[in-house]
Every structure is written in structure tokens, then in C-alpha cells.
Chain A
Amino acid sequence: MKRRDFLKTAGLTLAAAALGDRIVLGEPAPSQPPPAPVAWPDVVRIENGEPAALLRAALQKMGGMGRFISRGDVVVIKPNIGWDRPPELAANTNPELVAELVKECLQAGAKRVKIFDRTCNNPLRCYANSGIEAAAAAVGAEVSHIDESRFKEISLKSGEVLKTWPIYQDYLEADKIINVPIAKHHGLSRLTLGLKNLMGVMGGSRGQLHNNFQKKLIDVVSEILPTLTVIDAYRILTDNGPSGGYPADVKLTRTLVMSPCPVAADMAVLDLFEVQAESLPYLQEAIARKLNRVDLAALKVDKTVLN
């Protein structure tokens, strides 16, 4: 081998080793999953259990967390931590459920599990009084407050009203996202479920999204859809949402819904509120713009009641 060739080869190899992972253009193509031996359900709905048991049962039906999380993944779990309310008032995601999700992710080989939410009340209070900070940190999650300097303006390719919006950097950089909202009443949008919960990673003046809400919400969430949606309906808030505060508005429904499709997941809890999909404009907008990942007309829902 000539010296020139040696230097070329060695230089290229070193450059690739040092910089390779930084100069890959775009997302690497997802490796094809092995052909599924069984057809997994589109939506799993488990009833009549404690939060952790509901999750474990749902994952079993869904084929385990390993289907969604790969070894070495950086996972973001996005609960609702928006309000300075205790778990009993059903304004935030159930802390036991969040903790169980963290455990499952780590068991599936996740390298890091990050948890954050851009809160409506003071973040110290929300993180502490929701119980989520303590429960999730105890099982190994990295729970952090939103740092307002870490939002990144992204372009909304399919945006009809909005063309750009700032999104939290850690969310954008994550390998996998698990959206874990609580199912609640909401004055403007009637119900807040998975799609609306993604507002917690949006920066800027979120109040600006409230007029022409369904268009703007779908404009943004189209770009940031999660890997998996887990809807906490252990306790649901039936009125005076999304902040709640009135124990009489809380209903113990002991239910959990899981789906890789963010639209199907939202649709699978509507009956708890006796609401039709037609009365949720943002859900209609999501369907019209084909955000669903499964065929909503031929939905395979696996319903299980624990005993």
C-alpha cells in the first residue's frame, strides 16, 4: 500500500469514526420490524384495575414495551403536569402510572427516560403536588423543569394557518415519545386527551393557539406525533376542566387506553364522557388530515375487564 493510499484510508476511517453520527443527513431509515407473528390490536383498552396493573395488562396485549422501545433509546414520557393539583383531583396524569411507564421503558432497554411538561401554574408546585416528580425520579427518570431557552422553532410542513412553532428541544431529539395524558373536560375544546396534551411541549404564547384552535393545534401536532399514546382514565375530570379542583367533578373510571395511533387512542375514551367524535372539532380535523396510523373504519380494539 502506498503511503498516499494509507493516509487517505486512515483519514477517512478516522473522520467517519469521529463525525459519522453527526453528518448523517436526515433520520436514518427505520429498520424493518420482523414480520409480526400475530396481528397486534390497534387499540387496547383495559378496565377495572389500579394504574400500574392497567398498564401492565395493556402492554401484554400490545406485545410488550419492546415493540416500541429499542435498547439504547432516549425516551421522553410526556404526562400532564400542568396544574398545581393533587392526583385525587384528576387534573394531572396519575403518578403511579407514570412511574410504571418509566420502569417499563428502562426494562425494555431505554438508555434515558426524560419527563417534562410546560406547566400552567408554577412548575415547582405542579411537579411536587402532582406527585409525578417524586414518583418518576424514584424509579430512575430524569424529571426536569422546562428551560425557556431550549425551544426550537420548527417548520410545519402541512400547516394551514401556522407555518412555524417552537417545540422543546429534548422532545425533538428523543428517539421515542410516549404521550401519557389524563382524560379531562376542557371548556374550549370539550375534552383534552392525547393530541391536546402535546401542547405541553410547545413554546411561545400558547394562548395564541386558542382562536381557530382545531386548525392551529393540528398544524403543530402533525409534526410531533408520539410513538405511543397511553391515556390515563383511572380518574377522569368530567367538568370545570382542565384545572378542576372540585372533587364532585372527578369520576373513578379505572380505565386505560393504549395505541400507537394518536387519533384512535383519543377516540377510544370518548364514551366515558358520553361524547361523540363529531363534537370534537380538533379530532375531526385530525381525521380529515389523515393523522391516524390505523384504519379507523376497521378499528381492531381489544377490550379487557380485569377482575
Chain B
Amino acid sequence: MIWLRRTVQGTCLLGFVLLFLRARFPFHPDPAPDLLLRASPLAPLFVGWVERAIPWNLWPGLLVLAMTPWLGRFFCGWFCPLGSLLDLVGRWLAPSSPERTGSQTPAWPRAKYLLLWAMVVAATGGLALWTWFDPLGLLNRGMAVVLYPIGTWLVLGLLGLLALVPGAEGLAAAGRAWIKRWIMPEPQALPAFLWPTLIFFLGVLTTEWVARRWWCRSLCPVGALLGLCARFRVWPRQVDQTCVQCRQCARRCPMGAIPPDDVTATSPLECTVCLECLDHCPVGIRAISFGPARPTGHPLPVAAGRRSFLQAAGLGLLAAAGHRLAHPDPEGRARLLRPPGARPEPAFLDRCIRCLACVRVCASNGACLHPTGLEFGPAALWTPRAIMKTGYCEYNCNLCGEVCPTGAIRRLPLPEKQKRPMGLAYFNKNLCIPYARFTDCLVCEEHCPLPAKAIQIHEREVELPGGGQTIVKFPYVVRERCIGCGICEHKCPLPGSPGVYVVAENEQRA
């Protein structure tokens, strides 16, 4: 049965990667690239809780929640692509070593419940701590910001080296063409905040070095939530009379769900139905089965006591209160540009699962979206922001809203998006070439994508400082037309500070 589980796991992981790669221009909405991202059961819980409404668009996650009381934590064992990736990392670290499994290694199975509880408290206070740890968002973030850019950078670099080998130029060119066609169609864009994201992502992956599925057993908030849902699961693991108490199942269980002193018992909170116990039950005995049974109580303690829960709640409150004490930095706030269609800031922060699917799809378009670091406090960490110096919002593109799994960025029809301001452009006349040097430039006006340009030309005669007159074409912004797409800032030929820049004024959220 393990081969069946591994096939499903591989399919899910592969599907996750393929959907990730498909989220780009030209855009194909079927199947929706965010389909698997919406399967995280945390998103419906937290979005539903803070908005006091059931988010039906997250139906894949709701479905997982609904199935768990029957099947247990099947999501963790069979579906979760982060779990599958951790399995792969584990096999690579130490192929099938029983020393690295459940009951042999330390873990803090209770920690994840406390963490989940602290997250609920923090989310209520406006700090979406859960999004840092949601396994699907976390994996997608790692792929968008870390694996994808660095992976293609490495592969293209190797192909560049290969091209130096006499006779291999053709092979290298073919490789580059293939990468461009299927993997990375656009010039390499490196996202902001790459290193901290890399360290966090690799940190999660290296927990596998401590023990198999250590992350899933100790920290994962989805594991905690599903564990609670599975507490009275009706398809438990059953051990019949033929069991010879060899304890192989307890030794091999990657989740530590089988107590070595009573192998007939199973913790429904930890069991992921991975079926490894079935496989390790000695041939000829086969005492283990999974099937419907009358709901029974849990043989292992659920979690920690009341004191711990109060402490966790206190920590959550402290985090929620603490993040409000961050210095407001109004000047920086004015440069925090959200994608067009982003909901009003508090609702946006509540909904955004920090998966950065928008950043990934933007890379093959205007390439303006980047992950926010800690510069606006922990609440904005890993949310998308537009940086117009590295890119700009493509006038004919609305794909960030198309791929957003939770609707933190609304899905705007293109004509609507083209009228929706995400900011407003201002000229810095101390820098802008016509104002500062009395000579024409107008690169901004040339690129302004509005059919009736939002940057207009005011042609007038000016006195030159050294005497004499000249006619100069001065650009200016028509506030009513500007949508803050930032192509003017992006294309401004000045190095360093641009002569025209976008601020978060006039932005239309909702």
C-alpha cells in the first residue's frame, strides 16, 4: 500500500509544481493555478474566523476539513506537498533509517497545538502569524522566491559554462531554449527579501534532519488543526489478535503515533494514515488494518494542560499587541504600493496567505511585485508590494488577481483593472531632466499606457541660467487619469532616484 501512497504524494507534489509553472502569461485559467493552494485547511478557518463568514471559494480546504473526522490526517500523509518534499529530503539524508522515526526521536507534539492556539489569538488581534507557517503557502513562497529563481539561475549558469566547451554550444543553446519555453520565459528576476526567505524555507526543510516529519509532528499548524478534527476519526487503525507484539510498527511509525508499550493503540491526532505500519507488520501476521469502527476516545493525551494554553494565548496576545507598537513610518508607508485590486489594508493582511503566487506571476509580466520584508513591521511580512524601480504594473495584465487563492487581491476584469489606481505619480522637479537641465526627455510620457496619456506635455519657453531662451517640453501628471502603474518611474533614465515616482495616494482598494 505504500507504493499507492507514494504515487499519490508524488502526483500531488508534481501537480503543485506544474500549477506553479503554469501560472504565467499566456494565462490558462483551467485548471486554476491556485486550486491546490486553496486546499490548505488553515485558510478557511482563519479567514472565516476574522471575517465571520464561511469563505466558500476555499472549498478544497473546507473539503479537507470535512473529510478529516472520517479519514484522519490523510492530508498530511498523502496530500501535503510540503510533507512529500520533507519525505524526499529525509530519504536523501538517511535512506529508510528506523532511528530517525517517531518513537525513537524527540519531538514536541504538543507544541503545535499551543502554536495554533497562539495563532488564533494573534489573528484575532490582526497579526496573521499563521500564514508564516501554513505548509502550502510556505512551500509556494519557497518555490516563488527561492527555488525557482535560484534554480533557473544555476541551470542557466551551468548551460553558460557548457557553451564554453567546444562542440557543446548547440546543446547549451537547445537547453536555454527549452528553459525559456517551459520553465523561465522571462529574464531572471531576483525577488527582494530573498535571503531571509531562503533561510526560513531551508530551516523548515532541515528539521527533517532531526527526525522524520519532525516539522509535521512538532510545529505544523495544519497538523494541529487536522489532529483536533481527527480526534474521533471513524476509520482508525486496528490491530487484531494475531499481533505478536514485535513492535516494528511503533519503531517505524514516522509520526510517533504508536506507543511502544501498547502497539494496539494509535493516536488519531498524530496518525497520518501513511500505512508504513501495515508494511512493516511481519509477513504472515498482518495484524493491522484500517477500517470503519465505532469512535473511541484517544489513548494518548491530547495536548498540554490549561496552564500551557493560557501561556500560549498570552503569547498570541503579546504578539498581536506588540506588532502594533512598530514605528508607523509614514514616509515609508507612502511607498508601500499594493497590487491593483488589493482589499483595504486590514482585510488584505487578514486574507493574504503569503504564498507569493502573485509575485511569481508578476515576474513574467511587469516584474514589479516583490515580497515585503520586515520594513513595515511583522504584519506585512511576505505580503506583495510593488517596487517600480525593478518593474512596473503591465497595463494589460490582471494576473495577480487571477492567481490569488484567497481573494486578498480581487479578481478584476481587465477593463476595470485598467481604471483602478494603485497609486499616483509625482515629478521630482529637482531631478527630472527637463526641469533640472532645461532639455527635453519625455521617456515617461512615451511609455504612459493610458489611451489618453496621464503624463502630458507643457511646452514653454524658459530663460536659461547662462542667458538666452529655449523651448522645453515639460511633463506633468493628470491626477484624474493616473493609475499609478509606475512605468514612468521604471523607465526614467535617471540612475538612482527617479525624476518621477509613484506613491500610495489615490489608491482605490476594495
Q: Which of A122, A210, A212, A245 sits near B451, CB closer than 8 Å? A: A245
Partner-contacting stretch, out of A41-49, A169-177, A236-244: A236-244
Partner-contacting stretch, out of A59-67, A124-132, A223-231, A270-278: A124-132
**Does B87 sit within 8 A of A, measured CB to CB?**
no
**Does B452 sit within 8 A of A, measured CB to CB?**
yes
A185-B317 Cα distance, complex, nearest whole Å: 60
* Number of residues on chain A facing chain B (CB within 8 A): 29
Q: A244 and B451: CB pair below 8 A?
A: yes
- On chain A, the residues within 8 Å of B366 by CB distance are 122
On whether A212 and B493 interact (CB within 8 A), knowing A129-B396, A244-B451, the answer reads no
Q: A240 and B441: CB pair below 8 A?
A: no
Q: B446 and A187: CB pair below 8 A?
A: yes
A211-B494 Cα distance, complex, nearest whole Å: 11
How extensive is the interface on chain B, given as a class?
35 or more
Q: A246 and B440: CB pair below 8 A?
A: no
**Does B185 sit within 8 A of A, measured CB to CB?**
yes
**Does A188 sit within 8 A of B, measured CB to CB?**
yes
Q: B442 and A210: CB pair below 8 A?
A: yes
**Does A34 sit within 8 A of B, measured CB to CB?**
no
A210-B488 Cα distance, complex, nearest whole Å: 14
A129-B448 Cα distance, complex, nearest whole Å: 18
**Does A148 sit within 8 A of B, measured CB to CB?**
yes
**Does B416 sit within 8 A of A, measured CB to CB?**
no
- On chain A, the residues within 8 Å of B244 by CB distance are none
A60-B448 Cα distance, complex, nearest whole Å: 40
**Does A251 sit within 8 A of B, measured CB to CB?**
no
A206-B443 Cα distance, complex, nearest whole Å: 9
* B-contact 0/1 string along A115-126, CB 8 Å cutoff: 000001111110
A219-B396 Cα distance, complex, nearest whole Å: 35
Q: A211 and B446: CB pair below 8 A?
A: no
Q: A188 and B473: CB pair below 8 A?
A: yes
Q: Which of B447, B452, B453 sits near A120, CB closer than 8 Å? A: B447
Q: Which of A129, A211, A213, A240 sits near B452, CB closer than 8 Å? A: A240
On whether A187 and B457 interact (CB within 8 A), knowing A120-B447, A122-B364, A210-B442, the answer reads yes
- On chain A, the residues within 8 Å of B180 by CB distance are 145
Q: B439 and A212: CB pair below 8 A?
A: yes
**Does B394 sit within 8 A of A, measured CB to CB?**
yes
A208-B495 Cα distance, complex, nearest whole Å: 10
Q: A210 and B365: CB pair below 8 A?
A: no
List CB contacts (< 8 Å) of B422-445 with chain A: 433, 437, 439-443, 445
* Interface of B toward A, CB cutoff 8 Å: 25-26, 180, 185-187, 364-367, 394-397, 433, 437, 439-443, 445-453, 457, 473, 491-493
Q: Could you pull out 15 A-B pairs where Cβ atoms are within 8 angstroms?
A: A122-B394, A123-B186, A128-B26, A129-B396, A187-B446, A187-B453, A188-B440, A188-B442, A207-B443, A207-B491, A208-B493, A211-B441, A243-B446, A243-B447, A245-B449
